[in-house]
Structure 1
Amino acid sequence: MVIFYALLNMAEVYSQIIYAVNSKQYSVTRRLYLKNLALELSAQHLERRSLEQNVPRAVRDRRQDYAGTSANNANIQPQEEVVPGTRKRCFSCVKDSKSRFFCQKCKKFVCLSHLKAWCPLCYDSLENP
């Protein structure tokens, strides 16, 4: 680990030197340069992780806030056709309530307590275009 961090430190120092030489008005402290470098290098990974659907909703929402991706774009994805009579879990409920009703726009299953002919996300997007 010591060798890895030493290599990482040398790479940072050399990249900062190259950045200072290439930019005309260099006035960034080392701490801010390191912070910006880390955020830029991890931005693509953060975006990809924020779009994962197999994590709890609270974690996904926090990732989307941190990565700056839109919750509506991440949650509304094209899905396959719904087979009549299929019962699946409501995507809005915390509890495990199964329903045969689904959103007409995004085809996600919605229980009767959340049913508005569209899921809450699509309904909100209709009210606030």
Structure 2
Amino acid sequence: MAEVYSQIIYAVNSKQYSVTRRLYLKNLALKLSAQHLERRSLEQNVPRAVRDRRQDYAGTSANNANIQPQEEVVPGTRKRCFFCVQDSKSRFFCQKCKKFVCLSHLKAWCPLCYDSLENP
């Protein structure tokens, strides 16, 4: 019943009302649940595929969700690889963003190549 009243109020307040009831209800539901969808899309304790689909649906960027800096890494610590779908543990991490990376995702450069990347 509330959706009928909200549609009537919306139609009265907007001068160019040409939305079907189905589309109006869909837009209303998405707008009412947008904050909840965004919060759920940023949860880290769900599988990566589910999190990516939630971010696509909520319209949040995967980059914004993954930028959170991690705490200082203790030497010898083994954690899950950030990029792996499987639960592969690694002791290697990115020196820049502190995300753990397994050997299959690790990129290795010799010192000369690494210096050339820093100073193009």
Q: Residue 122 of structure 1: CA displacement?
A: 18
TM-score, scaled relative to structure 2: 0.83
| Equivalent-residue separation in structure 1 for 2:16 and 2:9 (angstroms) | 13
Decide which of 30, 33, 47 is 2:38's aligned counterpart: 47
Q: Residue 74 of structure 1: CA displacement?
A: 0.9
Residue pair 1:64, 1:71 contacting (<8 A) in 2 also:
yes
What CA RMSD, in Å, does the superposition of the two structures yield over aligned residues?
5.1
- Of 30-39 and 111-120, more deviation after overlay is shown by 111-120
| Equivalent-residue separation in structure 2 for 1:69 and 1:116 (angstroms) | 28
Residue pair 2:70, 2:98 contacting (<8 A) in 1 also:
yes
Query: Percent identity at matched positions?
Result: 98
TM-score, scaled relative to structure 1: 0.78
CA, structure 1 residues 80+88, in 2 after alignment: closer, same or farther (shift >3 Å)?
A: same
**For 1:61-100, what per-residue CA distance to the aligned partner results, in whole angstroms no more than 9, with x for missing partners?**
1111111111111122111100112122212223333221
- Of 87-96 and 98-107, more deviation after overlay is shown by 87-96
| Equivalent-residue separation in structure 2 for 1:17 and 1:121 (angstroms) | 69
| Equivalent-residue separation in structure 2 for 1:25 and 1:18 (angstroms) | 13
Residue pair 1:116, 1:123 contacting (<8 A) in 2 also:
no
Unaligned runs of at least 5 residues, structure 2 = none
**For 1:35-74, what per-residue CA distance to the aligned partner results, in whole angstroms no more than 9, with x for missing partners?**
1111111111111111111001111111111111111111
Q: Residue 110 of structure 1: CA displacement?
A: 0.7
| Equivalent-residue separation in structure 2 for 1:126 and 1:97 (angstroms) | 29
SS at match of 2:97: coil
Residue pair 1:51, 1:64 contacting (<8 A) in 2 also:
yes
Structure 1 segments, 4+ long, off by >4 Å, are 117-129
Unaligned runs of at least 5 residues, structure 1 = 1-9
| Equivalent-residue separation in structure 1 for 2:59 and 2:15 (angstroms) | 30
CA, structure 1 residues 113+119, in 2 after alignment: closer, same or farther (shift >3 Å)?
A: farther
